[in-house]
């Protein structure tokens, strides 16, 4: 990974690679919009309610600004990170996104292959169209984690945990902020919920416990399977005391995804959780919630280095990654950008999104005067509110 950004840049300028997707995120999103029907597009691109939280995610990233340092010898950069005893070549991971088949026929299989080829961990969703075993099969020994939507049927949840461990997944990501679907206006307008038509239920229809709950196999009665899925998908009764159930059914590291409040971060530590992912589900669950990056330093301070804190929601470019890492994230999850890459060019599109963000990250790191991910800290950044206060204070002193 040494001088990764320079190498990618030179290959592009010299015409050694022919990009299949746009470099600019905004154009990537627009091209995906042109290709997809309203239902699939807005299911990926949309958010909860008036989408205030989606805007807050980007606003919070914009409010934190990098203050580059000079003369620091940044010829060689080190992007490596270590999590749970495993060393990864960069801090990037592919976020768990369900129903990827709505944008490309190969769905999660294409994204997983792309992640494996780029040596980026892939977090497979419970809500994937292809089963976790099928995803594992195309990844070989490449790093992968499994994201659990904690079913209201505990035996189904336990079964999925066991299947993930048996299939070579090395961590469990438990999503807490989606025990039910949020009020998503675009999806309601389009009457679009792909699960009811058999998309995104691959882990359920292949699960022995789920299948045992049906009178007839899902292949012969898909409607009954869809109705059962709707009944058991989420679990709104969970409390902190229920976390012991996870420990009873897996030996893998457990991370809680969807933590935004520092008191919840402290509770996670108190309950022996191995890691936290600061996330507001990309703005898809609670409208009017705090921007994820504004929550990150609060969580980092509350955890105080006791467990890794990862970051998700709003990442678009390398500078976003640098900001999140400087504010305490150990690693960063990439979401919608790779879904748009998948839409436009399948596996190759996902690979190019990863390559572009990684190259941008490497160059931004160097141009900020930093030579390693491990050396990033809040001193690299300033918040615009703090900057304005300094300006106002200086002005008042002069007056």
**Hey, what's the torsion of the CAs at 311, 54, 377, 357, to 10 degrees?**
70
Rounded distance, CA 153 to CA 147, Å? 17
DSSP 252: S
Among 150, 108, 121, 109, CA closest to 333 = 121
Judge whether 104 counts as a catalytic residue.
no
Which residue blocks in the chain are alpha helix, DSSP H?
A: 4-13, 25-35, 38-45, 52-63, 107-117, 132-139, 154-166, 185-189, 202-205, 208-212, 222-232, 243-249, 262-270, 292-303, 318-326, 336-367, 384-398
DSSP 37: -
Distance of CA 284 to the CA centre of its chain: 13
Token couple for 117? 């080829």
Helix 25-35 crosses helix 336-367 at what angle (to 10 degrees)? Answer: 170
User: Of residues 104, 216, 261, 281, which has the active-site annotation?
Assistant: 281
Q: Is 28 exposed, middle or buried (0-12, 13-18, 19+ CB in 10 A)?
A: buried
Q: Count CA atoms closer than 13 A to 346's CA, side-chain side.
A: 7
Distance of CA 162 to the CA centre of its chain: 23
Rounded distance, CA 97 to CA 280, Å? 14
**306 φ, ψ to 5°?**
-70, -35
Rounded distance, CA 389 to CA 56, Å? 21
Rounded distance, CA 305 to CA 309, Å? 8
Token couple for 244? 């012991």
Rounded distance, CA 135 to CA 110, Å? 9
For the chain, first and last CA: distance in Å? 52
Of all helices (H) and strands (E), which one includes residue 65? strand 64-66
**Active site residue ranges:** 281
């Amino acid at each position: 990974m040494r001088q990764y950004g320079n190498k990618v840049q030179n290959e592009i300028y010299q015409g050694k690679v022919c990009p299949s997707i746009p470099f600019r995120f905004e154009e990537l999103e627009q091209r995906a919009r042109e290709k997809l029907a309203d239902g699939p597009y807005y299911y990926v691109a949309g958010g909860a309610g008036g989408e205030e939280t989606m805007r807050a995610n980007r606003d919070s990233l914009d409010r934190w600004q990098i203050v580059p340092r000079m003369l620091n010898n940044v010829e060689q950069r080190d992007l490596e990170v270590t999590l749970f005893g495993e060393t990864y070549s960069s801090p990037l991971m592919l976020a768990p996104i369900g129903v990827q088949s709505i944008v490309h026929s190969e769905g999660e299989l294409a994204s997983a292959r792309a992640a494996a080829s780029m040596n980026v961990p892939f977090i497979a969703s419970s809500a994937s169209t292809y089963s976790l075993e099928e995803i594992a099969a195309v990844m070989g020994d490449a790093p992968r984690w499994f994201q659990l939507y904690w079913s209201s049927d505990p035996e189904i949840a336990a079964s999925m945990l066991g299947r993930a461990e048996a299939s070579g997944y090395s961590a469990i990501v438990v999503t807490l902020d989606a025990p039910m679907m949020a009020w998503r206006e675009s999806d309601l307008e389009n009457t679009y919920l792909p699960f009811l038509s058999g998309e995104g239920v691959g882990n359920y229809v292949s699960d022995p416990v789920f299948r045992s709950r049906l009178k007839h196999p899902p292949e012969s009665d898909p409607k009954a399977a869809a109705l059962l899925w709707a009944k058991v998908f989420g679990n709104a009764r969970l409390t902190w005391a229920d976390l012991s159930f996870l420990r009873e059914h897996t030996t893998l590291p457990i991370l809680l995804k969807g933590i935004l409040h520092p008191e919840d971060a402290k509770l996670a530590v108190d309950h022996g959780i191995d890691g936290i992912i600061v996330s507001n589900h990309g703005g898809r669950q609670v409208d009017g919630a705090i921007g994820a990056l504004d929550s990150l330093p609060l969580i980092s301070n509350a955890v105080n280095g006791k467990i890794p804190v990862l970051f998700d929601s709003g990442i678009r470019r390398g500078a976003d990654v640098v900001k999140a890492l400087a504010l305490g994230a150990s690693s960063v999850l990439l979401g919608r950008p790779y879904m748009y890459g998948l839409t436009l060019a399948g596996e190759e599109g996902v690979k190019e999104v990863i390559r572009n963000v990684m190259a941008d990250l490497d160059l931004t790191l160097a141009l900020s005067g930093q030579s390693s991910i491990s050396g990033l800290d809040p001193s690299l950044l300033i918040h615009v509110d703090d900057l304005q206060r300094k300006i106002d204070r200086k002005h008042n002193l002069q007056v």
